[in-house]
Amino acid sequence: MSGVAQVIIAIQGVYKAFGAQEVHKGVELQIYRGEVMTILGGSGSGKSVLLKEVVGLVKPDSGSILLFGEDIVPLDEKGLFQVRQKVGVVFQSAALFDSLSVFENVAYPLTEVRGRSSVEVRPRVLERLRWVGLGGAEGKFPSELSGGMQKRVGLARAMVLDPEVILFDEPTTGLDPSNVRNINELILRLNQEQGTTAVVVTHDIASAEAVSHRWALLKEGRVESVGSPDELKRSTNPYVRRFIEGRLSEEGGES
Ligand SMILES: Nc1ncnc2c1ncn2[C@@H]1O[C@H](COP(=O)(O)OP(=O)(O)OP(=O)(O)O)[C@@H](O)[C@H]1O
Ligand SMILES: [Mg+2]
């Protein structure tokens, strides 16, 4: 991050309930252009729902979400389509098309959404697959891959349009240590070399330290604390301390 920090995502006063369950009760969070922000929080604290709100897959009950300065909450599907061209998402579950090959899954945003020709698409898709360590797997189908490999295909797909912002929902969960390292390095490389802004949800505090400029900790529907990893580790807020110490001692296990 350099220069004057520019807000690329502003989450303002977001409320969301599913029936009687209030998941977000006034979430406030700003994400700066060029940063890697990690969202932490217990299981069920609303991390995945927050990412879905940022790309308009879940509508908040109230509040606004400014993406590149525009509130996306009131947008219809057509408006959201434009937004999603600039924001890549890696979902918690890989969310691949089972009937499409790995190549076709990764190419999908280019061919189906942007209508690009296959000559243009092929080298780009193969390069993204190499980035996630899946060079040579382009002819396989999702059912032939391990969960971790499927996840990496989802990652390659999120990167195929070179979006300005990528949201990663637990990108390293279920991967072996060497792939965890590779994915963390990839997030850093995208951030440092292409200036990609990244929002990462993770349970893995070591990965969170490796990749992020700032952490935000969700608690009971709000952002309890936000700051650099060092600031949060030195926090005097008892909840923040307990959360981080707990995660450090269990080395990134489930909450
Ligand atoms: N579409 C939905 N309908 C009803 N409830 C939902 C829906 N999506 C999420 N929830 C509920 O909202 C809460 C927050 O879910 P969310 O998936 O954001 O949690 P999370 O912080 O990502 O948890 P985890 O770390 O386990 O992935 C959960 O209690 C979940 O059951
Ligand atoms: Mg989740």
Q: How far is the CA of 103 from the centre of ligand 2 (A)?
A: 26
Q: Give the mean pLDDT of 138-144.
A: 96
Return mean pLDDT, the chain.
91
Question: Which parts of 77-204 fold into alpha helices (H)?
Answer: 77-86, 102-108, 118-131, 147-159, 177-194
What pLDDT band is residue 93 in, cutting at 50, 70 and 90? Answer: confident
Mean pLDDT check: name the lowest of 82-91, 111-120, 181-190, 196-205: 111-120
- The answer to whether residue 185 sits within a structural domain is yes
Q: Give the mean pLDDT of 135-141.
A: 95
Residue 56 in tokens:
């308009």
What digits encode the pLDDT tens for the residues 225-234?
999 999 999 9
Minimum CA distance residue for ligand 1 atom 13: 44
Q: What is the pLDDT of residue 3?
A: 59
Q: What is the pLDDT of residue 252?
A: 44
More confident residue, 77 or 148: 77
Q: How far apart are CA 15 and CA 26, in angstroms?
A: 5
253 in Cβ contact with 57 (< 8 Å): no
- The answer to whether residue 201 sits within a structural domain is yes
For the chain, percent of residues with pLDDT exceeding 90: 73
What digits encode the pLDDT tens for the residues 160-194?
999 999 999 999 988 889 889 988 999 999 999 99
Report the predicted TM-score, pTM, of the whole model to 2 decimal places. Answer: 0.92
22 in Cβ contact with 221 (< 8 Å): yes
pLDDT exceeds cutoff 90 at 117:
no
Counted domains in the chain: 1
- The answer to whether residue 47 sits within a structural domain is yes
Residue among 11, 22, 47, 169 to mutate when testing ligand 1 (max atoms within 8 A of CB): 47
What digits encode the pLDDT tens for the residues 7-48?
999 999 999 999 999 999 999 999 999 999 999 999 999 999
- The answer to whether residue 116 sits within a structural domain is yes
Q: What is the pLDDT of residue 113?
A: 67
Minimum CA distance residue for ligand 1 atom 2: 18
Q: Give the mean pLDDT of 51-79.
A: 95
CATH number at residue 99: 3.40.50.300
Ligand 1 atom at shortest distance from the alpha carbon of 201: 22
DSSP line for 129-165: HHHTT-TT-TT--GGGS-HHHHHHHHHHHHHTT--SE
Q: What is the pLDDT of residue 212?
A: 95
- The answer to whether residue 63 sits within a structural domain is no
Q: How far is the CA of 27 from the centre of ligand 2 (A)?
A: 16
Q: What is the pLDDT of residue 84?
A: 84
What pLDDT band is residue 96 in, cutting at 50, 70 and 90? Answer: very high
Identify the residues whose C-beta falls under 6 Å from ligand 1.
18, 21, 23, 41, 43-49, 92
Q: How far is CA 62 from the centre of its chain?
A: 22
- The answer to whether residue 2 sits within a structural domain is no
Minimum CA distance residue for ligand 1 atom 17: 48
- The answer to whether residue 25 sits within a structural domain is no
161 in Cβ contact with 116 (< 8 Å): no
Range of the domain at 204: 35-52+75-250
Q: What is the pLDDT of residue 249?
A: 78
Q: How far is the CA of 76 from the centre of ligand 2 (A)?
A: 25
- The answer to whether residue 21 sits within a structural domain is no
